[in-house]
């Protein structure tokens, strides 16, 4: 996968971005599956394995799923007697193209195939872009 040495430039297109995104799930599937000599970094380990590793030390008081995140975090701050920051409804990143502009069925399939366990364990569904208010 040819990449630009200093990030994106004017020749980088949504098709280039999509192709780059399609490479990563293949690597991830191999890395999580074990046939690569590269250790599984915690930034890309599946959530089930991370939760299992935590329980080897101590049981979590709760596991909050994404669809209940705002309420769950609000409940925790109330229980702790502190005021937390407001929940964000969107994640933003400095990228040349929005995910909604480059994602397609092939990328969805590759992502699901890269870590089927988390999709099944946590009930993950296909990502949908935020709806305009």
Tens-digit pLDDT profile for residues 16-27: 888 888 888 888
CB 79 within 8 A of CB 71: no
Does the pLDDT at position 11 exceed 60? yes
- Mean pLDDT across 96-118: 86
User: How many C-alpha atoms does 112 have within 13 Å on its Cβ side?
Assistant: 14
For residue 70, the model assigns a pLDDT of: 85
Cα atoms in the Cβ-side hemisphere of radius 13 Å centred on 14: 9
- In this predicted structure, the answer to whether residue 15 has a pLDDT above a threshold of 60 is yes
């Amino acid at each position: 996968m040819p990449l630009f040495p200093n990030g994106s430039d004017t020749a980088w297109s949504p098709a280039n971005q999509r192709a780059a995104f399609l490479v990563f799930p293949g690597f991830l599937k191999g890395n999580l599956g074990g046939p690569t000599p590269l250790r599984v970094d915690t930034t890309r380990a599946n959530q089930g394995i991370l939760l299992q590793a935590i329980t080897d030390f101590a049981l979590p008081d709760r596991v909050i799923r994404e669809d209940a995140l705002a309420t769950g975090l609000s409940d925790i701050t109330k229980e702790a007697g502190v005021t937390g920051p407001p929940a964000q409804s969107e994640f933003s990143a400095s990228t040349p193209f929005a995910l909604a502009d480059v994602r397609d069925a092939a990328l969805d399939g590759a992502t699901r195939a890269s870590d089927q366990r988390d999709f099944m364990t946590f009930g993950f569904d296909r990502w949908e872009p935020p709806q305009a208010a």
